Structure 1
Amino acid sequence: MSRNSYQFGAAVASGIVFGIGLSLSGMLNPVRVQGFLDVFGNWDPSLAFVLGGAVAVAFVGVQVMKRMRHPAFDDSFHLPTNRKIDAPLVIGSALFGLGWGIGGLCPGPAVASLSVGIPQTVLFVLAMLIGMTLYDRVWSTRT
């Protein structure tokens, strides 16, 4: 098998594990996410535990990565080099947070929620893809 086949298989397996984790934790339900963001109403703290678990797993993964010479399916790690906090980062983060709060979904759970077949999720993913395409075609060419 080629390296690309292993990369594709690893990506599919990771996506499946991620989707199952989101489903088991209830994060495919936008009401649960919006309940977490409703700190002055009927607050649902369950997302904090999901986020905490994700941070713990990522922390372990970064520690393991630091000890490796190269990733299993590539010649080098592709880490961000820009550490600057600038206007595009702040604006993008704010837009992401607004979309998450209004829609109750972020990209990962939105794609995983497509398996449930809720029409609003399909609309959310289409709008997300249009926004990503616009950014890629219009704004990313300015840098």
Structure 2
Amino acid sequence: MAGSAAQRHPLFAPLVILGGLIFGFGLAYSHMARPEVVLDFLQFEDFGLVFVMFGGAAVTGVTYFLAPRLLGRAVLSGDDFERRLKPFDRNVLVGGAIFGVGWGLSGICPGAAYASVGIGNVTILWAIAGMFIGAYAQGVFRSRSPSDEAAPTSAD
């Protein structure tokens, strides 16, 4: 496989870390790493999150549109640019609903939770622990499921 970890470009990991630093800085700078700001958004009191999400979606959309046309292949991994279509099924609906309840209760999503630790919000570690426990429980549940959906596919 062209994109296997053994064949990745030597700058792959440093650039992933740099991307994470930029992402975290952006979340902290826009105050989206503060649960109270996110909860204000969810209560229709502060719409700043809409602009932050739109900015991220705009940059991502332009990149996903232009990169395959200009580069052909991913520069650092060598992988082809391709769409990974996943079915919109019951698991997506139920998982999205559960995620939404957790987001509404904690006021934070996974990416912002890590950025929140970076700005000194150590109490968010409880929410991060909950995310890990929830993900682990889902993995245990799925591994015990007799359906064919339990086995990961190449698109996972």
- 1:72 maps onto 2:81 in alignment: no
Provide, for residues 22-67 of structure 1, a one-character-per-residue CA deviation record: whole Å limited to 9, x for no partner: 011000111110111112xxx1011111111111111111112231
TM (norm. structure 2) is 0.80
Provide, for residues 61-106 of structure 1, a one-character-per-residue CA deviation record: whole Å limited to 9, x for no partner: 1112231311011121464232x21000011111111111110100
Cα distance in 2 for partners of 1:79, 1:133 equals: 27
Cα distance in 1 for partners of 2:85, 2:141 equals: 23
- 47-56 vs 73-82, greater mean Cα deviation: 73-82
Cα distance in 2 for partners of 1:85, 1:96 equals: 16
Counting aligned pairs with the same residue, the percent is 30
Q: Which has the higher contact order (CA 8 A, sep 6+)?
A: 2
8 Å CA contact 2:9, 2:77 repeated in 1: no
Structure 2: segments with no counterpart, 5+ residues: 1-6, 145-149, 152-156
Structure 1: segments with no counterpart, 5+ residues: none
Secondary structure class of the residue paired with 2:118? coil
For 2:54, the equivalent position in structure 1 comes to: 52
Aligned residue among 13, 17, 31 for 1:26:
31
How far 1:136 sits from its partner (Å)?
Answer: 3.0
Tell me how many residue pairs correspond in the alignment.
Answer: 138
